[in-house]
């Protein structure tokens, strides 16, 4: 039988944060071809209105489809939260966002925690919050979601987590994207900003057990977030949706890691496009991708 034809996967983000999702896809689907678009001219999406985000996201998605994408990954939490349906309606190809896989990752962690700590299941079954949960549903675990202002206002994560019987608290962290964009991932100012955000969020939701990074820029801050949580005496398990999204793409394509054996490390063909600042994209993008970002092509998608 012929091996499956490697698909062309379009990966889209408002900037280079979505490279964290591409980074997770590459080892899982090494034979696929990837076209990545960072809409750097119109970044940030996270402080804009629904209509503007949908317009930007749909035009970016259409561009990737025109370049030959057979499946689109919206590797941007804000675009997923506010424009997933608009993009799905605009394109005749499958579209996968990051919110649903992120919520699923939180559920998997919650289930694993309960298997490791069966005493918690017993204690929690006495908790009134669990009384209404159907027996086949996971007991409620409290998840704190850090995200952009637009993602938080959409409550897309709350809906996705509540649908899995997980409790959600969302915290908008508008200063984090510019700090990461500046490359200040290990910087006292960033630590101070994180301390303020996390202290506010955990004061409002002290029962939080899990921290979900609901923005593609935030995985780069994971060491700083761990450091800050330790300093305020509230260590948490941190999850991001990049790996869960990559798994969802593999599942959708019916390509398990077994059927999609690597030909050779790095055999994927990656083409990068950006709408502005290609030098910065190349320079900072490598931090997100974990390997050098080769040639980046400049394109104009209008305003």
Q: Is 45 in the site for ligand DGL (CB under 6 A)?
A: yes
> Are 140 and 147 a contacting pair, CB within 8 Å?
no
Active site (annotated) includes residue 116: no
Give least dist CB 217 to ligand DGL, A.
5
* Minimum CB–partner distance for residue 69 and ligand DGL (Å): 18
Supply the minimum distance, in Å, between the C-beta of residue 14 and ligand DGL.
3
Residue 148 as a binder of ligand DGL (CB under 6 A): the answer is yes
3-state helix, strand, coil in the chain (%, to 5): 50, 15, 35
Instruction: Check if 215 is active-site.
Output: yes
In whole angstroms, how far apart are CA 56 and each of 41, 280, 302?
10, 21, 9
Q: Residue ranges of the alpha helices (H) in the chain?
A: 19-28, 50-66, 77-90, 99-116, 118-125, 149-154, 156-163, 176-181, 188-204, 222-231, 241-252, 278-289
Stretch that binds ligand DGL, among 38-46, 117-125, 193-201, 277-285 (CB under 6 A): 38-46
Check: CB of residue 276 under 8 Å from CB of residue 5.
no
212 touches ligand DGL by CB under 6 A: no
CB-neighbour burial class of residue 27 (10 A; exposed 0-12, middle 13-18, buried 19+) = middle
Piece of 7-15, 138-146, 161-169, 295-303 that binds ligand DGL (CB under 6 A): 7-15
| Smallest distance from ligand DGL to CB 45, Å | 4
17 near ligand DGL, judged by CB under 6 A: yes
- Of the residues 15, 102, 139, 219, which one makes contact with ligand DGL according to CB under 6 A: 15
38 scored as a contact of ligand DGL (CB under 6 A):
no
- Given the DSSP bridges, would you call strands 8-13 and 71-74 parallel, antiparallel or unpaired? parallel
CB 153 within 8 A of CB 170: no
Residues that bind ligand DGL (CB under 6 A): 13-15, 17, 43-46, 76-78, 148, 151, 177, 215-217
Active site residues: 76, 215
């Amino acid at each position: 039988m012929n091996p499956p034809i490697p698909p062309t996967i379009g990966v889209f983000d408002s900037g280079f944060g979505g490279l964290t999702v591409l980074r997770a896809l590459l080892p899982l689907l090494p034979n696929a071809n990837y076209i990545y678009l960072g809409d750097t001219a119109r970044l940030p999406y996270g402080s804009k209105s629904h209509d503007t985000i949908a317009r930007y996201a749909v035009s970016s998605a259409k561009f990737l489809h025109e370049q030959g994408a057979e499946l689109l990954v919206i590797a941007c939490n804000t675009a997923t939260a506010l424009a997933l349906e608009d993009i799905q309606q605009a394109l005749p190809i499958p579209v996968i966002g990051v919110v649903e896989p992120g919520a699923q990752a939180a559920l998997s962690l919650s289930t694993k925690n309960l298997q490791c700590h069966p005493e918690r299941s017993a204690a929690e079954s006495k908790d009134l919050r669990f009384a209404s949960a159907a027996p086949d549903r996971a007991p409620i675990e409290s998840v704190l979601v850090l995200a952009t202002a637009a993602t938080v206002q959409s409550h897309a994560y709350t809906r996705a987590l509540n649908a899995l019987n997980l409790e959600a608290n969302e915290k908008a962290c508008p200063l984090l994207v510019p700090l990461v964009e500046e490359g200040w991932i290990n910087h006292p100012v960033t630590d101070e900003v994180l301390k303020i955000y996390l202290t506010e969020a955990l004061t409002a939701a002290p029962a939080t057990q899990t921290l979900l990074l609901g923005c593609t820029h935030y995985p780069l801050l994971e060491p700083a977030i761990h450091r800050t949580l330790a300093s305020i005496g509230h260590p948490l398990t941190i999850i991001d949706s990049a790996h869960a999204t990559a798994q969802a793409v593999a599942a959708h394509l019916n390509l398990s890691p077994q059927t999609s054996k690597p030909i050779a490390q790095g055999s994927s063909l990656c083409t990068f496009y950006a709408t502005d600042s290609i030098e910065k994209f190349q320079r900072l993008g490598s931090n997100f991708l974990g390997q050098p970002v080769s040639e980046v092509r400049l394109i104009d998608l209008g305003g």
